[in-house]
Amino acid sequence: MSLPAFNRHGVWAIYRFEMARFLRTLLQSVLTPVITTSLFVIVFGAAIGSRMAEVDGVSYGAFIVPGLIMLSLFTESIANASFGIHFPKFTGTIFEILAAPVAALEIVLGYVGAAATKSVLLGLIILATASFFVSFTILHPLWMLAFMALTAVTFSLFGFIVGIWAKNWEQMQFVPMLIVTPLTFLGGAFYSIDMLPPGWRTVALFNPVVYLISGFRWSFFGTSDVSVQVSLAMTAVFMLACIGVIAWIFRTGYRLKT
């Protein structure tokens, strides 16, 4: 018996294994982000939003929905993918992955595919939850799904890097808490960057999250801080950068093999 050029059974095994963990912890996997998002929508959208003017012709409550979904999508993608690869490193079961006839691409497909799937499912659940509190329409539903998938995959790739880089659980928390969350809050989740002073607007354009949220918001309301093409291009650049880093990790064995 010899394996074909693509080990699909290996990819499926990793993917199914990761999804099984998601299903085992379904309650906390889904309930926590749903409650958090509901609170955001109620506090910012209903309580504070009712006293605020419309943004780009959209009620503030509806305006923040795409940003909130993106916020969850970033954090969940990073958390899922980083945990997925860090846990076997922590427990020692990574030996089996390294000793198996699975190529780097197949390992990434399994882990990142599962992490992105979980994030997209969660994004859709949050979207459904938000619709109970505020009314909104989605002008470009297919683009909305495409942005969601693209963002989930990109940040799952980033999370995969974090999971391999991290030597312990503290480092695992470091990147999401000190880098991703601030970038997300400063990335226009709760406001349009047009509302910023001109100098800060320029600074904001260096934040990759701005492009993701802007593009995603466009799929809902047809308006955006930056053009959709630029949003897509910037997301693609970030994704390619992550792919490049992962390729380097597997080529050198960085923190995987001695």
Partner 1 sequence: MAAAISIANLTKTYANGQHALKGVSLEIRPGEIFALLGPNGAGKTTLISIVCGIVRPTSGSVLVEGHDIRREFRAARECIGLVPQELAIEAFETVRAAAAFSRGLFGRAPDPACVERVLHDLSLWDRRDDILMTLSGGMKRRVMIAKALAHEPRILFLDEPTAGVDVELRRDLWELVRRLRDQGVTIILTTHYIDEAEELADRIGVVNHGELVVVDEKRALMKKLGKRQLTLTLQEPLAAVPVGLAEWRLALLGNGHELQFTFDAAQEQTGVGPLLRRLEQLGIGWRDLNTRESSLEDIFVSLVGRGARA
The residues of the shown chain that bind partner 1, judged by CB under 8 A, are 1-4, 7, 9-10, 12-14, 16-17, 20-21, 24, 88, 91-93, 95-103, 253, 257-258
CB-neighbour burial class of residue 187 (10 A; exposed 0-12, middle 13-18, buried 19+): buried
Q: Which is nearer to partner 1, 3 or 203 (CB)?
A: 3
Q: How far is the CB of 16 from partner 1 (least distance, A)?
A: 8
Q: Which is nearer to partner 1, 92 or 199 (CB)?
A: 92
**How many whole angstroms separate alpha carbon 127 and alpha carbon 36?**
13
Q: Which is nearer to partner 1, 20 or 203 (CB)?
A: 20
Please tell me the chain's helix, strand, coil percentages from 3-state DSSP, rounded to the nearest 5: 80, 0, 20
**3-state DSSP assignment of residue 58:** strand
Q: How far is the CB of 234 from partner 1 (least distance, A)?
A: 36
Q: Which is nearer to partner 1, 4 or 199 (CB)?
A: 4
Q: Which is nearer to partner 1, 94 or 124 (CB)?
A: 94
Q: How far is the CB of 198 from partner 1 (least distance, A)?
A: 50
Q: How far is the CB of 171 from partner 1 (least distance, A)?
A: 20
Q: Which is nearer to partner 1, 24 or 202 (CB)?
A: 24
Q: How far is the CB of 95 from partner 1 (least distance, A)?
A: 6
> How many C-beta atoms lie closer than 10 Å to residue 8's C-beta?
11
Count CA atoms closer than 13 A to 220's CA, side-chain side.
Answer: 26
Cβ atoms of 38 and 22 closer than 8 Å = no
Q: How far is the CB of 252 from partner 1 (least distance, A)?
A: 9
Q: Which is nearer to partner 1, 57 or 101 (CB)?
A: 101
DSSP code, position 139:
S
Q: How far is the CB of 237 from partner 1 (least distance, A)?
A: 31
End-to-end CA distance of the chain: 30
The b/e string for 200-225 (b: 16+ C-beta within 10 A; e otherwise) is: eeeebeebbbbbbbbbbbbbbbeebb
| DSSP secondary structure, 75-142, as one string | HHHHHHHHHHHHHHHHHSTHHHHHHSS--HHHHHHHHHHHHHHHHHHHHHHHHHHHHHHS----S-HH
- Say how far residue 118 (Cα) sits from the centre of its chain: 10
Cβ atoms of 210 and 64 closer than 8 Å = no
